A = this chain, B = another copy of it.
Amino acid sequence: MKELSATAKAILGIVAMRPRTGYEIKAFVDNSTRFFWAASYGQIYPELKRLAENGLIEGTDEPTGGRRRTVYTITAAGKKRLREWHREPSADLEFRDEGMLKLFLAGAIEPASAPRIARERAEQARGTAARLREIESHAEGKDPSSYAVLTSGIAFHDFMADLFDKAARDLERGQTKRPTGAGAQERRN
Residues of chain A having any CB pair with chain B under 8 Å? 6, 9-10, 13-14, 16-17, 32-33, 35-38, 79, 82-83, 85-87, 89-111, 113-114, 117-118, 120-121, 124, 128, 130, 133-134, 136-137, 139, 141-149, 151-152, 155-156, 159-160, 163-164, 167, 170-171, 174, 176, 178-179, 184-185, 187-189
Contact = CB atoms under 8 A, between A and B. Distances in A.
Nearest to A144: B176
Contacts of A16: 105, 108-109
Nearest to A37: B101
Contacts of A109: 13, 16, 79, 82-83, 86
B36 A114 contact: no
A78 to B, nearest CB: 11
16 contacts: A14-B105, A37-B100, A37-B104, A82-B108, A83-B110, A86-B106, A90-B102, A93-B100, A103-B148, A104-B145, A114-B148, A133-B188, A144-B170, A144-B171, A147-B176, A152-B163
Contacts of A110: 83, 86
Copies of this protein chain in the complex: 2
B92 A188 contact: no
A40 B62 CA distance: 46
B90 A124 contact: yes
Interface majority SS (helix, strand, loop, mixed), chain A: helix
Nearest to A143: B107
A145 B171 contact: yes
Given A37-B97, A37-B101, A137-B184, A178 B142 contact: yes
Contacts of A35: 95
